[in-house]
Chains A and B, each alone.
Chain A
Amino acid sequence: DAGITQSPRYKITETGRQVTLMCHQTWSHSYMFWYRQDLGHGLRLIYYSAAADITDKGEVPDGYVVSRSKTENFPLTLESATRSQTSVYFCASHGQGASPLHFGNGTRLTVT
């Protein structure tokens, strides 16, 4: 399903570096989300966006920045990566109403 793509699939970076994870969806969905998945914590919401130029914090936003200048893109930036941000990051989207989330295949980020 090529509707939502994340890049890169794997990324290794060093502590203190800035890194941006990309997310692109082709459905023109209004809502987009970033989750991180860690053993013992399941999926936790980092940030979400209800439309272009509208973003808001989720459960674990510290250390992350998002932007949404275009409906189809929702990049996630780690301003100064820390080891605790080593995780698998998932982007997701959905249309209006109580519709299910569509997930990308994730980015596995390792911070050394």
Chain B
Amino acid sequence: SQQGEEDPQALSIQEGENATMNCSYKTSINNLQWYRQNSGRGLVHLILIRSNEREKHSGRLRVTLDTSKKSSSLLITASRAADTASYFCATDPGWSYGKLTFGQGTILTVHP
């Protein structure tokens, strides 16, 4: 079963706009991670947020985590065509040797 459920499944925006993707999960976590996947490639780690953190930034990325609601969001600001990819959240319960459970992903398309 998928721990993370992402919303929306697909998002289409214009270059320069912000993109927000949401992830909900069901059980307790040690950390939550976001990955990006370009077409035909493997996943690339973007950012990790621990359960005791509420917000984290990395360049144009901003991640929030609300453990009371079991949800996270990924915001990409000032999007670029190169941001076009699928984005996945993944949860780590902390006791499982790093076995992550992935959501089904959000397909982001940024139009130039």
User: What's the nearest-Cβ distance from chain B to residue A32, in Å?
Assistant: 10
B50 in contact with A98 (CB, 8 Å): yes
- Docked pose: A59 CA to B102 CA in angstroms: 12
What is the distance, in angstroms, from A39's C-beta to the closest C-beta of chain B? 9
Q: Does A68 contact B (CB under 8 A)?
A: no
A43 at the interface (CB under 8 A from B): yes
The DSSP consensus for interface residues of chain A is: strand
Q: Determine the chain A residues whose CB is within 8 A of the CB of B35 once the complex forms.
A: 101, 103
Q: How far is the CA of A60 from the CA of B60 in the complex (A)?
A: 36
In angstroms, Cα B41 to Cα A102, docked, is 12
Cβ–Cβ < 8 Å partners of B42 in chain A: 90, 92, 103-106
In this assembly, does B98 line the interface, its C-beta being within 8 Å of a C-beta of chain A?
yes
Q: Show 11 residue pairs from A and B whose CB-CB distance is below 8 angstroms, ordered by the A residue.
A: A35-B102, A40-B104, A48-B99, A94-B98, A98-B31, A100-B33, A100-B45, A101-B43, A105-B41, A105-B42, A106-B40
- Say yes or no for A58: interface residue by CB 8 A criterion: yes
Chain B, 80-112, CB within 8 A of any chain A CB? 88, 90, 92, 94, 97-105
Give bound CA distance, A59 to B3, whole Å: 12
- Taking residues whose C-beta sits less than 8 angstroms from the other chain, chain B's interface range is 20 to 34
Residues 37-79 of chain A, each 1 if its beta carbon lies under 8 Å from chain B, else 0: 0001111110010100000001100000000000000000000
Tell yes or no: B13 within 8 A of A by CB.
no
Chain B residues closer than 8 Å to A105, beta-carbon distance: 40-42
Q: In the assembled complex, which residues on chain A have CB atoms less than 8 Å from the CB atom of B90?
A: 101
A89 to chain B minimum Cβ distance, whole angstroms, is 11
Q: How far is the CA of A94 from the CA of B42 in the complex (A)?
A: 14
A-contact bits for B41-72, CB 8 A (1 contact / 0 none): 11111001010000000000000000000000
Q: Which residue of A has the minimal Cβ distance to B97?
A: A50
**Assuming A40-B104, A42-B2, A42-B102, is B97 touching A102 (CB within 8 A)?**
no
